[in-house]
Structure 1
């Protein structure tokens, strides 16, 4: 192998990158990233497929990847267009012997892969690198992946081992005289930058360097890993949870790096339920990906993997109230406003807003999933659609499950600090009414500087009545 090409996709790192490890065995290498215009179109319900939050994070990640490659006397060739048109042309023009890329498993990505395969044939080599456990190491064939997470986790924990990290050959040479384009701006991608919001739990910045810095900070400097299980449902502040997910999503951080750092932490500091729980959550992430591999396109259809025949609403006015954080239910509104402003929302918040949209409002869960796809920094199709289906009773939990929103708010935002942070119009409302301000009488509203129906909306539905409707669906 004299010349190889590595096609970076959702693996924007140098550490533990199997595609890079294999490509670097050549005499000369060409790293390439392609901006596919289809990623910047619209979803089926008309949302921007990649919104400004995630696009900015991606551009930062690519800028950092390029810098890190340059530090090893390499570079990153940037192209704009369809990969199935660009890659065969580059391969022919520069005499590439083999093309290496990480395999994806959902429809849009597979379609592109198959078109490339048709053009370049055996020159295309796929590797697996998005999960903690390698696809060849799990104790299941594709069709044997269990429909219940616990069954997957228990058998995988017993019979699988996380592989060691992979390095790459540092003295590999760069293929010379390759034309490249500069990184596009948000404007060139058809997007408008969202102003920075100081209320964000963390100033997320894309890139492998930032990912490894966050890992060091959370595990070692702040020593938060030992508390993870007990604080991970927090809503305010940087360190109640790891916040690794945005870097995991675009591959700036390897799940195996997290795993082996947990193991090092257990050896050097302590091993407890929290250190295990960090790995537990990585296995959940694996499960969503392997389940998507098994279930294919069913993951994206309204009946979900359950094949449930349920009548969904698509009311644009009601959806808009949910999306903009104007439902009149403070806990829902606070979470949605955080998402809109920052591109991030806690796992606890995600479960509640998903349950509210799909269960209380009975609005097609795929509208919510596509809205998240547009906005989330940490979007990946398997986890996003898997979680939405799960919370909409068409996924991995067949029960007619739903969240009691007020109970959740009172449990996880007891004093209302998170809610007031994102709903300044309720700033003076006391703990007693913060999650149900509509229960205040006019005099109390005047006293606490809020007018329900004017400065803050009335509830769009009666929650208790909606819970009865949910129960009636069983």
Structure 2
């Protein structure tokens, strides 16, 4: 009898812990070929003059793949790496290495599921099975108390029933050994230039946290946030912060590529509750993980509606005639509203933005500037290190009022938010140095100060810092 070889196709599950496809393959096959493909479609221009993948996320991806390769090598295996189209490369590898089956985790967004379907069709011609697994959520869809088509469109209703009637399964074991074929070709992680980028991202000393890709860095962050700094116990009170590494968990980047398993985080929370403290903060982090699940299930239910202006409602927000010009001001952090500009400049300089910032800049773009909300979602797709299709587009649709928000006309008063969450102006001062001399909260409305006072602070509205955009002068 010939040896059985299984190819494990990694995509957004770049870890060896709690990874069913890797464990299952290691148990059932004589040889395992872990494989990652840098899909060339992910590094091309996208809609609205944006990129599918910006340089910060690309760098994080490269680091994560390199870390996975090293982890697999420590288990005796290796990660085979290619660049191109999975539907062309995987069938060729199947033939070359006499692979009998291919394993992968299901995705929910249309582009990702489309690639899976392309691979499945190509493998079907070779009479090879593409076996689907579920591994991106706390709860499997089979564990939910309702079928996908009946999931409530209001999160609170969903949450209460799931918390009452479902349970989170234990994590899968980590394989002890990965046996690779003796003739497995060598491969290396490409660099940014090979992916089409002309320069590397520059680390900004103002960054809230150094976000480096890979399972080892994700688990180190988990240990630091929970056990070393004890930050979890205060999460609910600090999560709306703007400056520093520990006001929030910052797990989202590692979750987005599956370097961290949501179940691993959940069970670590439970351990923390047993050994340290159980309070509103420990619950709230589990609550946020459930939101992440919810958007994935909503994508299963509503599909491509999340990429359309109307979402799954009957209408979409009003749009300005000069929205292209307004969009460019918003993207570059030149709206003349310091709190908005500071958040956008942080995003552009680091690939990160706080949750509080994301809600405000999204609401401002949609409700104040009246720009097509899908443009903002596409720009976040390019810039955010932690981009995840369902969370990103689900949250933008939510703010735009065409998604899962039970309240109509949700609106963030940006100046009120600025005064509440940046009362001394420290965050604005950090990211907009041209305003650094303006004292305390006055920094949030510099256009209201007399010209002679502004001159004392070395500020000239309209020159050293923009006039506020006409649509929001009434603030």
Residue in structure 2 matched with residue 408 of structure 1 by the alignment: 417
Distance in 1 separating the partners of 2:316 and 2:211: 40
Distance in 1 separating the partners of 2:147 and 2:470: 45
Alpha-carbon shift at residue 169 of structure 1 (Å) = 3.6
Residue in structure 2 matched with residue 293 of structure 1 by the alignment: 300
Aligned counterpart in structure 2 of residue 449 of structure 1, from 454, 458, 462: 458
Distance in 1 separating the partners of 2:404 and 2:443: 34
Matched, 1:255 2:288: no
* Alignment CA distance shift 1:450-1:465 (3 Å): closer
Aligned counterpart in structure 1 of residue 171 of structure 2, from 165, 175, 181: 165
Alpha-carbon shift at residue 464 of structure 1 (Å) = 6.5
Distance in 2 separating the partners of 1:169 and 1:98: 19
Normalised by the size of structure 2, how large is the TM-score? Answer: 0.96
Alpha-carbon shift at residue 461 of structure 1 (Å) = 2.7
Matches within 5 A, 1:275-354: 275-313=282-320, 315-354=323-362
Distance in 2 separating the partners of 1:153 and 1:16: 24
Aligned counterpart in structure 2 of residue 20 of structure 1, from 13, 19, 22: 22
* Alignment CA distance shift 1:432-1:216 (3 Å): closer
Matched, 1:219 2:223: no
Q: Is the partner of 1:216 in helix, strand or coil?
A: helix
Distance in 1 separating the partners of 2:387 and 2:135: 17
Alpha-carbon shift at residue 307 of structure 1 (Å) = 3.4
Alpha-carbon shift at residue 395 of structure 1 (Å) = 1.1
Distance in 1 separating the partners of 2:33 and 2:429: 51
Distance in 2 separating the partners of 1:236 and 1:461: 30
Distance in 2 separating the partners of 1:266 and 1:432: 38
Residue in structure 1 matched with residue 448 of structure 2 by the alignment: 439
Distance in 2 separating the partners of 1:251 and 1:312: 36
Q: Given that residues 425 and 441 in structure 2 are in contact (C-alpha distance below 8 angstroms), is that contact kept between their aligned partners in structure 1?
A: no
Aligned residues: 466
Q: Given that residues 22 and 168 in structure 1 are in contact (C-alpha distance below 8 angstroms), is that contact kept between their aligned partners in structure 2?
A: no
Distance in 2 separating the partners of 1:432 and 1:396: 34
Q: Given that residues 238 and 247 in structure 2 are in contact (C-alpha distance below 8 angstroms), is that contact kept between their aligned partners in structure 1?
A: yes
Point out where structure 1 has 5 or more consecutive residues left out of the alignment.
467-474
Residue in structure 2 matched with residue 470 of structure 1 by the alignment: none
Aligned counterpart in structure 1 of residue 138 of structure 2, from 132, 137, 143: 132
Q: Is the partner of 1:377 in helix, strand or coil?
A: coil
Q: CA RMSD in A?
A: 1.3
Q: Given that residues 359 and 399 in structure 2 are in contact (C-alpha distance below 8 angstroms), is that contact kept between their aligned partners in structure 1?
A: yes
Normalised by the size of structure 1, how large is the TM-score? Answer: 0.96
* Alignment CA distance shift 1:35-1:159 (3 Å): same
Aligned counterpart in structure 1 of residue 384 of structure 2, from 376, 384, 390: 376
Query: Which deviates more, 447-456 or 197-206?
Result: 447-456
Q: Given that residues 105 and 132 in structure 2 are in contact (C-alpha distance below 8 angstroms), is that contact kept between their aligned partners in structure 1?
A: yes
Residue in structure 2 matched with residue 472 of structure 1 by the alignment: none
Q: Given that residues 109 and 299 in structure 2 are in contact (C-alpha distance below 8 angstroms), is that contact kept between their aligned partners in structure 1?
A: yes
* Alignment CA distance shift 1:465-1:304 (3 Å): farther
Point out where structure 2 has 5 or more consecutive residues left out of the alignment.
none
Distance in 1 separating the partners of 2:255 and 2:314: 30
Alpha-carbon shift at residue 315 of structure 1 (Å) = 2.5
Q: Is the partner of 2:47 in helix, strand or coil?
A: coil
Query: Which deviates more, 151-160 or 177-186?
Result: 177-186
Query: Which deviates more, 392-401 or 77-86?
Result: 392-401
Alpha-carbon shift at residue 201 of structure 1 (Å) = 0.4
Q: Given that residues 24 and 168 in structure 1 are in contact (C-alpha distance below 8 angstroms), is that contact kept between their aligned partners in structure 2?
A: no
Q: Given that residues 27 and 172 in structure 1 are in contact (C-alpha distance below 8 angstroms), is that contact kept between their aligned partners in structure 2?
A: no
Q: Given that residues 233 and 412 in structure 1 are in contact (C-alpha distance below 8 angstroms), is that contact kept between their aligned partners in structure 2?
A: yes
Distance in 1 separating the partners of 2:441 and 2:376: 31
Q: Given that residues 419 and 441 in structure 2 are in contact (C-alpha distance below 8 angstroms), is that contact kept between their aligned partners in structure 1?
A: no
Aligned counterpart in structure 1 of residue 401 of structure 2, from 373, 387, 393: 393
Distance in 2 separating the partners of 1:172 and 1:42: 37
Residue in structure 2 matched with residue 29 of structure 1 by the alignment: 32
Distance in 1 separating the partners of 2:271 and 2:338: 42
* Alignment CA distance shift 1:86-1:387 (3 Å): same
Residue in structure 2 matched with residue 75 of structure 1 by the alignment: 78
Aligned counterpart in structure 1 of residue 111 of structure 2, from 94, 102, 108: 108
Q: Deviations over 1:173-200 (max 9, x none)?
A: 1122222432111111111222110000
Q: Is the partner of 2:12 in helix, strand or coil?
A: coil
